[in-house]
Structure 1
Amino acid sequence: MKSLGIAPLMLSAPATPQISAPAHQAQGAIWSAGPEGQRKADLGNGTFLNPILAGDHPDPSILKDGKDYYMAYSTFDAYPGLLIWHSQDLVNWEPIGPALRKNIGSVWAPELCKHQGRFYIYIPTRETSAAGSRNTSWVIWADHIEGPWSEPVDLDLPKHIDPGHAVGEDGSRWLFLSDGDRVRLSDDGLATVGKPEHIYDPWRFPDDWDSEGFSPEGPKITRHGEYFYMILAVGGTAGPATGHMVIAARSRSIHGPWEHHPRNPLVRTGSQQERWWSRGHATLVEGPNGDWWSVYHGYENGFWTLGRQTLLAPVSWTRDGWLEFGGDDLSLPLPKPKGGRAGPHGLALSDDFTSDKYGIQWSFFNPAPDEASRLRRGNGVLHLAARGAAPSSSPPLLFIAGEQDYEFECEIEVDPGARAGLLLFYDSALYCGVSFDAEHFIGHKYGIEHSRYPNPLGPRMFIRMRNMRHIVRVHISADGKHWKRFERTFEVSGYHHNVRGGFLALRPGIFVSGKGEARIRNFKYRVPLDG
C-alpha cells in the first residue's frame, strides 16, 4: 500500500487568509465577488452586471407583488427545495426560505404566482428513487409568501412540464404547458378541469441551427395592453451553446388564435465566443418605475459545471405591439432598473452552525423522508449522523457555489465506524472528494472510491478543497494551521449535464457514511486572493 498521499505544504495561504472582494475579468466585463457569498450583480454606480443570482439558479419564475419581487427556480433533487428569493430592485436578492420540504421527485421549472390574495407554486417533477415521486405537476399554496406552504397536490399531468399560470379575460384559470398545450384549472387553482388541449404550434428555428432539439417549453403568459403574450423556450436547455432561445407569440384572447412574433427568436446565443451560453427560458416582469424586464438563464462560457445562472435583461415594447429584448449577450454592465430600493444580496456561505441554515444554504440530495433527522446543531457544532456506505448511498449535505474559483474547509471529527469528508457532487454517480475514517484516507473520483491511504491523523482533522476553475486541490491539517497537500488532484470540467444528464450543477458539500456520526465545526467558504 502507498504511503499517505500528503505532499509537502504547497498552498501559501495561511489557515485564515485575509480575503478582500476581488474583481475578475471575463471577456471585457468586470464582476465583483464577496469573500463568503454570492457574486454581486450591483456595481454600486447605477449599473449591474449579470448574473443577478450566480450559480445553479435555472428556470427563474418571477412575481411582482406591489413593491416586492419574489423569485423561485428549479431545485431538482435538492431538499428542502424551492427556495424563494426577495428583492425590491430586481438586482439585489436575499433568500426568504424554502417552500417545499417533502421529496416529490426532481423539481423542474416551477411557476410562482399570486391570485386573489393567495400565493401558488406549480411544480413539474420527474420521477426519482424517492417514494411516491412521479412524472407529473403539483401545486402548493400559502396565504403569506413566507409560508406555511401547503402539502403538494398532484395535478396528474404526466406528459407535460413547465406549467405557466394564466387568467383569461373571462376570469378562467389555466396552466399553459410544454409542446403548445394548456389545461383548465378549477377556480381555486388546486385541480385540473378536463384534459390538456393543443392550442399553439410554436415557431420553428431553421434546420441548420445547432440545438439540442426543438423542445418547446416554459410558456409564460403576460397580459399587456390589448394582448396576451406567450413567451416560450425552444432549442433545448443544454447541448450546443447556440441551442436554447426565447420566442414569443400573442393573442387578443386567452383562447387564441396565437400569432408568431415576426422577429423570432428574441434571445439566442449566437456563438461559443459569447460569455453566456444557452440563453433562454424567459419570464417578463414590470420594473419598479413601470419599465419592463425579463429574467432568464444561461450557462457561463466554459462553466457548465456551475449550472444555469439567472440573468436580467431590459425589455421594450414596440409600436407594432410587440416586444424586444435588450442587453445583447449581457457581457457588459447595464443600467439598473430605476425606482427600486436596493437591499441585501445573497448570503454568506461560511457557517459556524450557531444558526439554522438548513433549507437556506444547505440541502440534501434526493433525501429519504427522515433525512432531516440526521441533523442536530449545538454549541457551534453540526452533528451529522452517518448513513449508507459511500456518497452514492449517503445523501450529502450540499450548497450552491457561484464562483469559478473558490475554496471551502471545516474541521471534522468522526465516531468509530464512521467515514466523513468533503465533496464536489453532481449526482450519486458522479462526484469527487476526500474522506477519512480513523485509519484511512479515501479518494473519490468519477463517482467511485478511487484510492486509499493510511491516515496518521486519527479521527479528527481539518480538510480544505479548492475548485480552481475545474482543477481541484485538497489539503489536510491536524490543527487548522499547518496544511499538507493531498496526493490526488482532480479535474472536473466534465462533471456536468452534457456528459451525465440531469440538468444539475457541481455543488460543494459534506457527507458522512457508516455508523455513528461526524461532528463538523467552523465551515469556511471564501474566494482566494489569487482567484
Structure 2
Amino acid sequence: MAVNRRDLLAGGVAGLGLTGLGASAAASHAPAAVTSWRRGPDNQRIADLGDGRFLNPILAGDHPDPAILKDGADYYMTFSSFDSYPGLTIWHSRDLVNWQPRRAALTRNIGSVWAVSLEKHKGRYFLYVPVKATPDTIYVLWADHIDGPWSDPIDLDLHGHIDPCHAVGEDGSRWLFLSGGDRVRLSDDGLSLAGAVEHVYDPWHYPADWVVESFSPEGPKVHRHNGYYYMITAVGGTAGPQTGHMVIVARSRSIHGPWEDDPANPVVRTRDEAERWWSRGHASLIEGPDGSWWSVYHGYENGYWTLGRQALLDPVEWTADGWFRMRGGDLSAPLPKPRGGRGLPHGQTLSDDFATLALGRKWNFFRPAGGESERARIAGGALHLRGKGIAPHDSSPLMLIAGDQAYRFECDIEIDPGVTAGLLLFYDDRLYCGLGFDAARFVTHQYGAERGRPANPHGRRMRMRVTNDRHIVSYHISGDGGRSWTRFDRGMEVSGYHHNVRGGFLMLRPALYAAGTGEARFRDFTFRAL
C-alpha cells in the first residue's frame, strides 16, 4: 500500500489504516481551522463568543455521555469518568454555555464508571452509576446538596446492564431505564430494586447498508413533555466509523408504553466524514433559561479522536405533531445562545501553583488503589507525590483534561534518590508517551513502553516541557529553571493514541507521574493552549 509523507504526518498510526477507517483520509477532509473561539484561562478555547452566540464544544476535551439536570435557575452536568478518580465531577451553569466544575461526587474506586443518570427527586439528588468491574453492576449515590456530602455507593445488584436513566411514571412510580430497551422498577426511596428487569422497547433499526460500528442500543434518556414521555436512545456504536453513532427517539403517553418510533429517525447523525463533529450521540433534552429547548450530547472532533468525546449543545424545535427536531446542523457554525440566565465565568485554569490540591476539580488519579490520595500533599508551594510502582503503567499518574488541538505544559520537577518522575501524555496504562528521569538517566516512554535511557546531565532537579502540536510531540529540558531550554532528541506522533486503536473510550491526557521509592516534588505547573 502506497502511503505518502503527508498522509503519514496527518494520520500517523491511524493513517496506515489501523483504525479501520484511515485517519489520513479524515485529516485530508478536515474542515478549515476555526479561529473564532474566544480564549479563556491558559488560552483554552471557550464556547461563549461574547456576542450572544456560542461555538461548540461547550466543554472541550473528554466529557462523554453527558447527564444534565435543571434545578431551578441552575444546571448541573456530569460525565462518564471511567478509571479517573475522584470521579463524577459536577459542573454548574446558569446559561447552558458557560460551565464551572464544583466537586467530584465519587471518591472511592468502584470500577470503570460509564454513562450515569443525575436526578433530583423530592428534594434529594441521586446518581445512578454503572461500572465495569467484577461483576459489572449499577450503584446509587445520594446527597441532600449538589456539593455533597454524597453517600457511599450502594450496590443495586443489577448485573449485566449499563447506562441507567431514572424516570418517574405518571403514577409516581420510580424506574431505571437501561440499555437495550429494558427497565426495572425502583423502591420509593430510589435506593433498591422493587422488581425484575423487563424488556419494554425494541429500538428503531437503521437501514442495513449504513456504515456503523454495531447496533448497540444504549444510553436511554427519558423526558416528559406536553403529555408524552420521550425515550431518546443512541444506536450505531459509540466510536468506530464516524457515521455510526446516532440519536433515535420514541414516545409514549404512559411510562408503561407502548412506544412509537419517530418517523424522522435518526434525529442526529454524522453523515459524512468531512463534518466537524463525528459519532454524535447520547443525547438529553433540557429546557433553557428562556423556555427554549436544547439537546446536550457528545461527539468526536474531526481528526481528533485523541481528545475523546466532547460535550455539544444543539438547539431543539418542537413540531406541531409533538416531535422535536435538532436545528444546529453539523454544529460547525456559531449558534445563538439561550437568552436569560446569569452567565458564570467559564472553565478553570489548568496551570497550577500548587497552593492547594485540586483533586476531583482538576487532577484525577488513574485507576487508584485505596488511599491513593494519601500519596499527594501540598507543602511549600509544591505538589509532593510519593512514588508508586516502577513506571507509568503501575504508578497511577495524576491527569487533567486538555481540550485544545495544540498545547504546551511544563513543570519544575525535583526527585528523591530512588525515584523516577516526569511528564506524560497518558491514554491508559498500556498506551502513553512521555519523558522521565532519575538522578543519572532519562527514560523515554513511547507506545506504553520504556525505551531509550540517555544520560541526564542535570541530576535530581530540572524543568521539563511537553508540546503536543496537533499530534506532533516534542520535549524540552532546562537545568536553570526555564531560562534556557534544550530540545530533547526524540519526537513522537500520537494521532493513534485513542479508542479506535486501544479501546477504553478515553482520551490522551497531560499527566504527572512518580515511580519508585521516595518522593517527587512538582512546582509551577504551567499550561497554555497554542
TM-score normalised by structure 1 residue count: 0.93
Deviates more, 1:69-78 or 1:31-40: 31-40
Q: Deviations over 1:102-158 (max 9, x none)?
A: 00001101110100000001111112xxxxx53111110000001000000111222
| Per-residue deviation, residues 143-183 of structure 1 (Å, max 9, x unmatched) | 00010000001112221110011000000000000000000
- The 2-side partners of 1:66 and 1:450 are apart by 54
Q: 1:187 to 1:223 in 2, by over 3 A?
A: same
Provide the residue aligned with 2:69 in structure 1: 63
Instruction: Provide the rounded CA distance (Å) in 2 between the counterparts of 1:134 and 1:441.
Output: 40
**Matched letter for residue 514 of structure 1:** G
Task: Report if the CA contact (8 A) 1:27-1:331 is conserved.
Answer: no
Q: In the alignment, does 2:90 pair up with 1:88?
A: no
In the alignment, is residue 359 of structure 1 matched against residue 385 of structure 2? Answer: no
Q: Deviations over 1:182-210 (max 9, x none)?
A: 00000000011121100000000011111
Correspondence list, 1:67-466, <5 A: 67-127=73-133, 134-466=135-467
CA shift for structure 1 position 35: 5.0
1:37, 1:349 within 8 Å by CA — same for their partners in 2?
no
Alignment-mate amino acid for residue 525 of structure 1: F
- In structure 1, distance between residues paired with 2:361 and 2:412: 22
The alpha carbon displacement at 1:356 in A equals 2.5
**For each residue in 1:235-279, what CA deviation from the matched residue of structure 2 results, as whole angstroms up to 9, or x when unmatched?**
111000000000000000000000000100000001100000000
In the TM superposition, residue 40 of structure 1 has moved relative to its aligned partner by 0.6
Pair 1:367–1:140, CA change in 2 (3 A): same
Post-superposition offset of 1:28: 5.8
**Which SS does the other structure have where 2:281 is aligned?**
strand
Match of 1:6 in 2: none
Q: 2:54 aligns with which of 28, 48, 55?
A: 48
Instruction: Verify the 8 A CA contact 2:116 2:129 in the aligned structure 1.
Output: yes
Q: Which amino acid aligns with 1:31?
A: W
1:511 and 2:517 correspond: no
1:366 partner amino acid: R
Contact map agreement 1:37 1:347 (CA 8 A) in 2:
no
Q: Alignment partner of 1:498: what SS? A: helix
Structure 1 residue 289: Cα displacement: 1.1
Counterparts of 1:118 and 1:429 in 2: how far apart (Å)? 40
Residue 73 of structure 2 contacts residue 289 of structure 2 at CA under 8 Å; is this kept in 1?
Answer: yes
Q: Greater CA deviation, 294-303 or 31-40?
A: 31-40
| Amino acid of the structure 2 residue aligned with 1:158 | H
Distance 2:108 2:180 in 1: 28
Provide the TM-score with structure 2 as the length reference. Answer: 0.93
| Cα RMSD (Å) | 1.0
Tell me which moved more, 86-95 or 154-163: 154-163
Q: Residue by residue, what CA displacement relative to the aligned partner does 1:4-43 show, whole Å, maximum 9, x if unpaired?
A: xxxxxxxxxxxxxxxxxxxxx9456732333516421000
Give the Cα–Cα distance (whole angstroms) in 1 for the partners of residues 515 and 258 of structure 2: 57
Three-state SS of the structure 1 residue aligned to 2:138 is strand
Structure 1: how far apart are the matches of 2:136 and 2:39?
Answer: 38
Equivalent pair of 2:185/2:195 in contact (CA under 8 Å): yes
Aligned partner of 1:477 in structure 2 is 478
Secondary structure of 2:251 counterpart: strand
Which piece of structure 1 moves more, 337-346 or 489-498? Answer: 337-346
SS at 2:222's partner residue? strand
| Identical positions, percent | 65
Provide the secondary structure at the position in 2 that maps to 1:373: helix
Q: Secondary structure at the match of 2:373?
A: helix
- Size of the alignment, in residue pairs? 499
Question: How far is the alpha carbon of 1:316 from its aligned partner?
Answer: 1.0
Contact 2:44–2:528 at 8 Å: present in 1 too? Answer: no
In the other structure, the counterpart of 1:502 is 504
**Deviation at residue 341 of structure 1 after TM alignment:** 1.3
In structure 1, distance between residues paired with 2:196 and 2:42: 48
Are the equivalent residues in 2 in contact too, given 1:118–1:144 (CA < 8 A)? yes
Match of 1:307, SS state, is strand
Corresponding residue for 1:13? none
Distance 1:256 1:508 in 2: 46
What residue is the counterpart of 1:7 in the other structure? none
- Please say if residues 211 and 235 of structure 1, whose CA atoms lie closer than 8 Å, have aligned partners that are also in contact: yes
User: Using the alignment, how far apart are the partners of 2:146 and 2:371 within structure 1?
Assistant: 26
Partner Cα separation in structure 2 for residue 221 and residue 312 of structure 1: 18
Greater CA deviation, 155-164 or 265-274?
155-164
Task: Tell me the equivalent position of 1:491.
Answer: 493
SS in 2 for 1:499: helix
Structure 1 residues without counterparts, runs of 5 or longer: 1-24, 128-132
The alpha-carbon deviation at position 512 of structure 1 amounts to 0.3
Amino acid at match of 1:168: G
Tell me what 1:5 maps to.
none
Q: Secondary structure at the match of 1:524?
A: strand
Cα distance, 1:110–1:367 mapped onto 2, change above 3 Å: same
Equivalents in 2 of 1:260, 1:445: separation in Å? 48
Whole-angstrom CA distance in 1 between matches of 2:259 and 2:93: 33
